[in-house]
Amino acid sequence: MIQAGGILGALAVSLGAFGAHALKGMLEAAGRTETFETAVKYQFYHALAMVLVGILMQRAGEDAVRMLGWAGNAFAIGVIIFSGSLYAICFTGITKFGATAPIGGVALIIGWVLLILAAGKL
């Protein structure tokens, strides 16, 4: 979980830098700068959450570990779907990808709820 969070975090920083420099003109011309920044922010926040989940998993009992694992997986799925759909909109201009963003958002919320529930078992 910590490694997955680290990978997502490294990708978020890389994509953020790429967007701020190499893609700046394209994103501004398409009016997608804020969309791209939102995708990067949510990816980075949840990369950090996954690192936290991984750290907690090392110290938790069996019931909490199971729930923390579900939380971390929900964060990963949420990032892929939510941020991925926003990146797809930015790179392709196809706004229909936005229809999947709420599914990713729900997965992220589920991850936070599972983290809360797991904290009660620590």
pLDDT at position 122: 86
Q: Are 44 and 66 in contact (CB under 8 A)?
A: no
What tokens does 92 get? Answer: 């392709």
Q: Are 89 and 63 in contact (CB under 8 A)?
A: no
Confidence of residue 22 (pLDDT cuts 50, 70, 90): very high
pTM of the model: 0.94
Distance between CA atoms of residues 54 and 56, nearest Å: 5
Confidence of residue 103 (pLDDT cuts 50, 70, 90): very high
Q: Are 5 and 51 in contact (CB under 8 A)?
A: yes
Beta-carbon neighbour count of residue 36 at 10 Å?
25
The average pLDDT across 95-119 equals 97
pLDDT at position 92: 95
pLDDT at position 83: 98
User: pLDDT tens-digit profile of 39-97?
Assistant: 999 999 999 999 999 999 999 999 999 999 999 999 999 999 999 999 999 999 999 99
pLDDT at position 41: 98
